[in-house]
């Protein structure tokens, strides 16, 4: 039998009624002749509640026990989904990560999947089971301890299962009906895409689009897993949602596929840093050790042996970054005049595989922003994206203007 993977996020299984709705969708796929692997998240709000319990009990918690607690929400959902399917006369069984087993690294709270043996579940399919309901977000370490994959880890679980079992497709059910050209809450002209290339989706996910977790898209691209993003709350057809697939599977694509934004960014500048070999490593090594997620990096032209080094990071990591930089200066490894911090910026990006073969995309972006009176603070580019930092108060205007300029509302 062909295998289909279906993943239901927290809002899709938030109540018993929603679990029943999701189970009916699974039943439809079983009736089409699929053996189905269902990956479930915890019921909406449950993981936050469990994290709160851990923090209240032990602020400096043991990460192994943290994983034991916060992974339990998915176990509840898996059991309820299996029971619901059984009530519908669909042969189903729930599976926790250790029962599969989902083998991971021992990096608790941010483990990575290393292997998913298929023997156990395939044996049950052979015995007549039609649906394996697997608790997402969790696995088992080499030491036999429960691990979790980090927030959004159920998406990664779903793609990893699709790759391991050679699934025909991996359907991700969520509270939106697909991937849009930009956030519909920011731009009312946003259009749902029928298809988007893996590379475009990966860039959009990393730049602020919250439809799919970045790691799940990386896995899908690596193993050529076709992903479909659908709504749990709308009637479905075979053409519903957005298919994330190989570039070759898309007949013709726009130069720019979408506009992404990230509101909570900060710009940090080390003023008058010595311009000599090893300075970048002296700065960004300690930042990495402090788990600061550095994004855009700009070094100014050297003058009299001094330069300015600018980088961006999420606003909630500014304090950590400042502490790391202060530590570098106190150690004598780095000398600079002062540190400028601007926490009132946002990142706006355009993404599209068509940018590889079309000149003038960046200049058009800059002119559009200029015409709107929006000053660009930092620019970075890659083969298929251009990102800028602008004042946060202009973020929505920038997104709307770029969406209009590149005519993304048109198919």
In the annotated binding site, the residues are: 7-10, 47, 74, 174-175, 180, 185, 210-211
- Numbered residues of the known binding site for ATP: 7-10, 174-175, 180, 185, 210-211
Hunting for tokens 């972006």 — which residue is that?
365
**How far apart (Å, rounded) are the C-alpha atoms in residues 380 and 349?**
9
- Numbered residues of the known binding site for substrate: 47, 74
Give the long-range contacts of residues 318-324, CB within 8 A, separation 24 or more.
318/266, 318/268, 318/343, 320/290, 320/291, 320/292, 321/268, 321/287, 321/290, 321/292, 322/268, 323/290, 324/286, 324/287, 324/289, 324/290, 324/292
Q: What are phi and psi of 358, to 5 degrees?
A: -125, 125
Q: Are 246 and 199 in contact (CB under 8 A)?
A: no
Tokens of 313: 């990071």
**How far apart (Å, rounded) are the C-alpha atoms in residues 317 and 108?**
21
Q: What are phi and psi of 14, to 5 degrees?
A: -70, -25
How far is CA 142 from its chain centroid? 26
**How far apart (Å, rounded) are the C-alpha atoms in residues 375 and 366?**
9
């Amino acid at each position: 039998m062909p295998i289909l993977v279906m993943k239901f996020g927290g809002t899709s299984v938030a109540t018993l009624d929603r679990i029943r709705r999701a189970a009916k969708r699974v039943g439809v796929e079983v009736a089409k002749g699929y053996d189905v692997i269902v990956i479930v998240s915890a019921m909406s709000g449950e993981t936050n509640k469990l994290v709160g319990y851990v923090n209240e009990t032990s602020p400096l918690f043991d990460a192994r026990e943290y994983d034991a607690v916060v992974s339990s929400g998915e176990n509840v959902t898996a059991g309820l989904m299996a029971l619901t399917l059984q009530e519908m006369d669909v042969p189903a069984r729930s599976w926790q990560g250790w029962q599969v087993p989902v083998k991971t690294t021992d990096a608790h709270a941010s483990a990575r999947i290393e292997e998913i043996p298929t023997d156990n579940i395939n044996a049950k399919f052979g015995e007549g089971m039609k649906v394996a309901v697997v608790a997402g977000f969790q696995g088992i370490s080499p030491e036999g301890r429960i691990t979790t994959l980090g927030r959004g880890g159920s998406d990664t679980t779903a793609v990893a299962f699709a790759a391991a079992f050679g699934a025909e497709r991996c359907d991700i059910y969520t509270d939106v009906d697909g991937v849009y050209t930009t956030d519909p809450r920011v731009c009312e002209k946003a259009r749902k895409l029928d298809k988007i290339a893996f590379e475009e989706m990966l860039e959009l996910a990393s730049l602020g689009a919250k439809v799919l977790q970045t790691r799940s898209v990386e896995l899908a691209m690596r193993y050529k897993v076709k992903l479909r993003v659908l709504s749990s709350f709308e009637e479905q057809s075979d053409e519903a949602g957005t298919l994330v697939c190989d570039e070759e599977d898309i007949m013709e694509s726009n130069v720019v596929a979408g506009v992404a934004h990230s509101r909570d960014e900060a710009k940090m500048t080390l003023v008058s840093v010595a311009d000599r070999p090893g300075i970048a490593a002296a700065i960004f090594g300690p930042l990495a050790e402090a788990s600061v997620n550095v994004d855009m990096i700009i070094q100014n032209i050297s003058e009299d042996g001094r330069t300015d080094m600018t980088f961006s990071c999420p606003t909630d990591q500014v304090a950590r970054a400042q502490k790391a930089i202060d530590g570098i200066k106190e150690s004598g490894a780095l000398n600079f005049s002062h540190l400028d911090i601007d926490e009132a910026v946002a990142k706006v990006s355009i993404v599209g595989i068509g940018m590889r073969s079309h000149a003038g995309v960046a200049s058009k972006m800059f002119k559009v922003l200029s015409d709107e009176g929006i000053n660009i603070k930092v620019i970075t580019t890659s083969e298929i994206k251009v990102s800028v930092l602008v004042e946060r108060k202009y973020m929505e205007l920038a997104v709307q203007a770029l969406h209009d300029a590149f005519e993304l509302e048109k198919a």
